[in-house]
Amino acid sequence: MVIRWKQVVISWLLVALSVVAAASDVPPSEIRPVNAAKTATTLRCGPLVVLLDPKTGGLAEIRYNGVPLGRQTPGVAALDLRQEEKWIVGRGNAPLKLLNVQSPDERTAIATARAGDWQVAIHYTLDATWPMLTRSAKVTWLGRGPTKLKGFWLGSPTFTAGKDAYYYSPGEYPPKRFPAVAFKAGASRSFHRSLSPLIAQLAPQQSLLWISDELTSVSDRTSVTANESGGGLRINQGFQVMARMQPGDTQEIGSACLWVLPCDGETALLRIHEWMRRRGHVVPADRPEWFRDAILYSYHPGGTIGSNFHDLGGFVPATRLLDHIAALGCNAVWIMPLEDASPYQPRDYYKFQAGLGTEDEYRALVARAHKLGLHVLQDSVPHGGRNDSPRAKEHPEWLAYEEDGSTLSYWCYDFNWPTWRQYMAGVARHYVAQFDVDGYRVDAVGGSRIPNWNSQIPYARASFAQLQGGLNMLRSLRAAVKQSKPRDGGLLAEVEGSIYGTASDAVYDFTGCYQVFQDLRRLPVDQFVPQLRRWLHEQQYAETPDLLRLRHVESHDSLRAELWYGVQPMRAMMALSAWIHGVPLVYHESENGHEAAFRRIFAIRRQLPELSRGTADYLGVETPPALFACLRAYEKRASVVLINLASQPIDATASVPLDRLPEQLRAVRAITVLRPAGEETSHGSIDHDKLLISVHLEPFEYVVCALRPAGENVASTLPEQRAKVPRIVAEARQRRDARRRAWASTGETGPT
């Protein structure tokens, strides 16, 4: 019995050893136990030195140029994982104990530790040329029965914050710095933007950037949490991992980066694009050129959402509307969902909704759009509709399942299920091939609404239905479009995270429409405009380089912008959306009563290539607080966008640093000022190293001050003689005016 018992123990140890080796990618014969002195493992590359805690394998200390930046705080967990509904390490339930460290060279190490019935192998890598640490993990369940993993984070040492220290999450709104002088022990703030960037300036020439690489095939949605202490800052980088775990199962998680930068916190922001390009966070190389220049008009052939899509009449009248859309200056249309049974309730993807018309009528609509120079995006709805549709009953495996085995009644499909993605790619190919559409606006494509807890999922874990599902769905749809239209085919993704811009041609700006722009009516203008400019600046540098965003002031999902802002402010915001970096949107009938203003705004955008293709500098031009300014530059041309967002006239001088201008323009004084009502020539003056532009702007007036090299003029951008208003548009105006009269009689504001 004793011999038999010893054999069982030895067998168990061999199994455990094999699990350790699997988690650490090292054969059992190469596993080296921690030495008796339990000294810290040291990694180094150039000026960066990282020490690992000999008790837990977590980060113990980080040094730069021999100076300690951060040290481990006793009693603070190096990492934590959530088993079912409980975090197991930080609460003291299962202290982390180091098992071994493998360090094949000075830049890499794998620290394997145990916490209760969990084993975690943390992979550390120092970049060969940058002072940057990348971490990932392999988490293995060693318990006896099944369980669930529902979260994971990696911690940091506590970094010493000097008197000039602060931290911020770039792109958050409202933009805010958290200075060290206001740190409160025990206070914490979490941020959940795409890639979860966080910048901390420790000293005027010492900053840190935390950022997570969501583009890896094993990444989930991420977060970052700043934990304050009296004189320091500790950061947790989190992963929203959700997985069923059987004994012996391992999940790969990561990766999370920490970049040590010898600069201030503002310069650190400007360097994020370097990290992105190095990691492959770039827009598709074959993005269609027309996306840059797009001015998008959105409508449903049935009608407006306020009429339940019944006040236009189908493909034939929708085709007649195209001439009006082109006359506005739009050059692309987004056709909202056509599939049976109703918009955003797809039942049969290959059948039109009742009352819209025939296939030939839709072909005629697309052909007419192309003849008018309009590209056509059709709506694609990959969330699948309802869980009681015939398709859902035929393919129950395509649905995403809750932990209790139930499914959502709507928006219920698994975006990452391979055969569902193949099905949607087939639908995409069908409408491109049969009707010649140029691509898709893809609805709600961030991924499945819930993790898919189906135990039969054909991928590693439940949470991959979400971030990975959204990315993979976009890749499948885009590949299908590109098969037929390799040059002009593309996707507009209805999702905000910049990571999705690596798999699509443009994404949404929900924060702009529903949060930032709304502050025009909530805040004093001299507070709103600087905040808006700062946010645009941070947003631009904290996301995929040259990412195109849909800049909309309203859509079918929102209230009419005119009711939010009023007539003149709405026009000013439309000018802003058309002249900053991105793609402006007009939703069906929002132009009613504003046709001349919209035509002028879009004519200016189309005439000046820098407004659609140029760089955008949101902070470089100095103006009074209520005057929005943005410098757009493209090749040897530049324009200064100026928008008075105050309800009073402004006489102001815009100061443009000469070094922000293309070299060919630094001696130019002549300026063409393009106003809503016409154009005029002005002359700037030079004050040391700045170009000064003096302007008078009426309340909510918007202008563009165009600069051209000597000998080149700005051709007139005045639209041609006003086009005759189509009867279908005149009827829409009458309906709008009738609604307004009805609201006025009740003294209330009604829906559009």
Q: Is the peptide bond before 584 cis (omega within 30 degrees of 0)?
A: no
Q: Return the CATH number of the domain spanning residue range 617-707.
A: 2.60.40.1180
CATH architecture of 2-279: Distorted Sandwich (2.70)
The confidence score (pLDDT) of residue 729 equals 65
pLDDT higher than threshold 50 for residue 386: yes
Report the alpha-carbon distance of residue 86 to residue 449 in Å, rounded.
Answer: 23
Average confidence (pLDDT) over 458-474: 98
pLDDT higher than threshold 70 for residue 193: yes
The confidence score (pLDDT) of residue 23 equals 44
Residue with more model confidence, 34 or 672:
672
The confidence score (pLDDT) of residue 10 equals 36
Confidence of residue 707 (pLDDT cuts 50, 70, 90): very high
The confidence score (pLDDT) of residue 719 equals 54
Structure token pair of residue 242: 């959700």
Lowest mean pLDDT among 40-44, 309-313, 693-697, 722-726: 722-726
Residue-averaged pLDDT of the chain: 92
pLDDT higher than threshold 60 for residue 221: yes
Looking at 3.30.365.10, 3.50.50.60, 3.20.20.80, 3.30.360.10, the CATH number of the domain 289-508 comes to 3.20.20.80
Question: Per residue in 718-752, pLDDT tens?
Answer: 554 444 556 666 666 666 566 555 545 555 443 33
Report the alpha-carbon distance of residue 472 to residue 454 in Å, rounded.
Answer: 19
Question: Per residue in 542-599, pLDDT tens?
Answer: 999 999 999 999 999 999 999 999 999 999 999 999 999 999 999 999 999 999 999 9
Confidence of residue 230 (pLDDT cuts 50, 70, 90): confident
Report the alpha-carbon distance of residue 429 to residue 451 in Å, rounded.
Answer: 28
Question: Per residue in 125-158, pLDDT tens?
Answer: 999 999 999 999 999 999 999 999 999 999 999 9
In this prediction, what percent of the chain has a pLDDT beyond 70? 90
Lowest mean pLDDT among 20-34, 203-217, 487-501: 20-34
Report the alpha-carbon distance of residue 660 to residue 71 in Å, rounded.
Answer: 41
The confidence score (pLDDT) of residue 718 equals 52
DSSP β-ladder status, 243-245 and 147-154: antiparallel
Average confidence (pLDDT) over 635-663: 97
Question: Per residue in 389-418, pLDDT tens?
Answer: 999 999 999 999 999 999 999 999 999 999
- The full set of domain ranges for the chain reads 2-279, 289-508, 617-707
pLDDT higher than threshold 60 for residue 22: no
Report the alpha-carbon distance of residue 609 to residue 605 in Å, rounded.
Answer: 7
The confidence score (pLDDT) of residue 39 equals 86
Residue with more model confidence, 664 or 22:
664
Largest Cα separation within the chain, whole Å, is 102
The letter for the amino acid at 476 is: S
Contact 213, 257 (CB under 8 A): yes
pLDDT higher than threshold 70 for residue 19: no
Helix or strand (DSSP H, E) at 480: helix 467-484
Contact 617, 633 (CB under 8 A): yes
The letter for the amino acid at 335 is: I
Residue with tokens 């269609």: 288
pLDDT higher than threshold 90 for residue 14: no
Structure token pair of residue 204: 């005027």
Confidence of residue 38 (pLDDT cuts 50, 70, 90): low
3-state secondary structure of 340: strand
DSSP 514: I
Residue with tokens 């509307």: 321
Beta strand segments in 583-689, E: 583-587, 615-617, 627-634, 637-644, 650-657, 670-675, 678-683, 685-687
The whole-angstrom distance between residue 15's C-alpha and the CA centroid of its chain comes to 44
The confidence score (pLDDT) of residue 24 equals 45
The confidence score (pLDDT) of residue 92 equals 67
